[in-house]
């Protein structure tokens, strides 16, 4: 493990945690489409953190598909396969939660509701918890610690 890889893993994990907090805030505010997108982003960034940590090649880091990221990371961390359904749930929100043309008609803000947003937040939380569990198991507790902000 190089310091550079660990540093990138930390940056991506911390942003994932922040995005999940923002997703929860948006659920409370009724911005369910935004909460779904931020949940997808939280899951994606947590998995990218792990891919940086294990030294994945650049191609694996370019995707936005959580299913692809879990499939890749599970080659080294088989326990991640148990989160493939959460990854599928979050992948559903990457485009349609943001763009009207990602839906057959209407607007993302009118299409997404509380139940969908809650489900997305829960899926992202499980993925973040799985990644955090891997770091704890590896003794990398400092990756999980929020940075001192000035």
Counts for the chain of helices (H) and strands (E), in that order: 8, 0
pLDDT value of position 1: 66
Determine the straight-line distance between the first and last CA of the chain, rounded to whole angstroms.
Answer: 28
Look up residue 3 and give its two tokens. 């310091």
Give the separation between CA 97 and CA 111, rounded to whole angstroms: 8
pLDDT value of position 94: 96
Average pLDDT over residues 74-99: 96
The phi, psi pair for 5, rounded to 5°, reads -65, -40
pLDDT tens digits for range 2-50: 899 999 999 999 999 999 999 999 999 999 999 999 999 999 999 999 9
Full-model pTM: 0.94
Please, what are the domains in the chain? 3-143 (1.20.120.330)
Average pLDDT over residues 96-110: 94
pLDDT band per the 50, 70, 90 thresholds, residue 150: very low
Give yes or no for a contact between 26 and 34, defined as CB atoms under 8 angstroms apart: yes
């Amino acid at each position: 493990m190089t310091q550079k890889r660990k540093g990138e893993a930390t940056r991506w994990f911390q942003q994932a945690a922040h995005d999940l907090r923002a997703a929860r805030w948006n659920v409370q505010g009724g911005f369910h489409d935004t909460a779904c997108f931020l949940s997808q982003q939280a899951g994606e960034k947590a998995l990218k953190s792990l891919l940086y940590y294990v030294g994945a090649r650049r191609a694996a880091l370019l995707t936005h598909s959580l299913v692809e990221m879990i499939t890749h990371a599970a080659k080294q961390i088989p326990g991640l396969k148990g989160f493939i359904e959460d990854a599928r749930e979050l992948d559903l929100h990457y485009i349609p939660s943001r763009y009207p043309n990602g839906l057959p008609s209407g607007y993302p803000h009118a299409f997404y509701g509380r139940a969908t947003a809650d489900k997305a937040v829960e899926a992202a939380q499980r993925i973040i918890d799985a990644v955090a569990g891997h770091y704890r198991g590896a003794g990398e507790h400092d990756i999980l610690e929020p940075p001192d902000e000035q």
